[in-house]
Amino acid sequence: MTLSLHTPICDVLGCRYPVIQTAMGWVADARLVAAVGNAGGFGFLAAATLSAERLEAEIRQVLALTDQPFGINFHMFQANAEQVLALIVKYRLRAASYGRGADRQSIDRLKQAGVICIPTVGAVRHASKAVELGADALVIQGSEGGGHTGVVPTSMLLPLVLDAVKVPVLAAGGMHDGRGLAAALACGAQGIAMGTRFLLTEESPVPASTLERYLSVRDPARIRVSRAVDGLPQRVIDNPTLQRLERSGFICQAEQALRSAWYYKQQAGLSFYRLLRVALSTWRADSELSLSMAARAANAPQLIRLALSDGRPDDGVLPSGQVAANIDRLQSCAQVIETIVIQARQRLLALQTWMTTTPEVQI
């Protein structure tokens, strides 16, 4: 007997399997997104670190590599947010993903264009707020996830959010195999979303030197949460740069932030006035950020770039979910998704067998 894994979110997104590739700056490029779509999953291009011109080129490349639908992830407070919105609408992309700091006007614009809005949240209150603003579905990320993360593990966060909202929910944080998909479906989610698992694939653009560093981590305790990068909890692989940041004082951190801000200004072609407005917008978009933390937030993208784009794992920051410790080799996106689907079917069929063959217990 073949068990279908087709859930309602598959119809919404236009994919065969409820397996979502989350957007990761410097990682989720056209080749990776197309490979995920061709394998039956759904991918998001990462737009937060791209100029509008580069983003449009990436969109065109995805369209040349696949006829499957895909989406874009961005920050609604980033410098070129209006241009990103225009590109999503222009190319009639299937979905948009975003985080906190979203505004109703932008969400309404997306929805009027028929774009599915799927923000990522890490707390119940943020999930409820996102739905109130118009989210069509949610990705909930537990504390096991990489990059900026909360404190509640996926196993606890998922049922809490499912009880709080009435939209489809996808589980992220700690997901990397078919057992995770089966568990998420059994809990009530409509699928899973993964970042680190797709970072460690053959189609990933991450340089070999950095991929080797990820694959060498066997102890989940080395993939830990720190506030040293930008003041917010961020799960990363322990390395010399992280240790240096944790030892440094405010002056050194401020100096690093200024260097990163200058690089961002040059890359984005911003004036000093526009750069200041972006920094203030970042602060206003998240009321939990102090002004000093908002200034330090420029650190993260550039330190991540050094590791994930430039191939210098000791000189940058290595965002990672704890699942990296469970992955010891690269596979293609097609192999990853096929393995997940086969394993999830096996686990769900085994559960079904247990439930139909075990005598009923009277309590």
Dihedral sign, Cα of residue 134, residue 148, residue 256, residue 310: negative
54 and 152 fall within a common domain:
yes
**How far apart, in whole angstroms, are the C-alpha atoms of residue 279 and residue 247?**
25
176 and 290 fall within a common domain:
no
Which 3 state secondary structure label does DSSP give 46?
Answer: strand
Q: How confident is the model at residue 358 (pLDDT cuts 50, 70, 90)?
A: low
Closest CA to 167 of 142, 190, 147, 196: 190
Q: How confident is the model at residue 280 (pLDDT cuts 50, 70, 90)?
A: low
Instruction: Enumerate residues 6+ apart whose C-beta is below 8 A from 339.
Output: 177, 178, 331
CATH code of residue 350: 3.20.20.70
**How far apart, in whole angstroms, are the C-alpha atoms of residue 324 and residue 30?**
23
The region of weakest confidence among 82-96, 148-162, 218-232 is 218-232
Number of domains comprising the chain: 2
Average pLDDT rounded to a whole number, residues 150-164: 97
265 assigned to some structural domain: yes
Domain of residue 293 covers 215-322
pLDDT tens sequence across 325-336:
999 999 999 999
Average pLDDT rounded to a whole number, residues 265-280: 52
**How far apart, in whole angstroms, are the C-alpha atoms of residue 325 and residue 319?**
13
Q: Is 12 exposed, middle or buried (0-12, 13-18, 19+ CB in 10 A)?
A: middle
92 and 237 fall within a common domain:
no
Average pLDDT rounded to a whole number, residues 139-150: 96
363 assigned to some structural domain: no
295 assigned to some structural domain: yes
199 and 233 fall within a common domain:
no
130 assigned to some structural domain: yes
Q: How many C-beta atoms lie closer than 10 Å to residue 112's C-beta?
A: 9
Dihedral sign, Cα of residue 245, residue 247, residue 248, residue 253: positive
188 assigned to some structural domain: yes
Predicted model pTM: 0.88
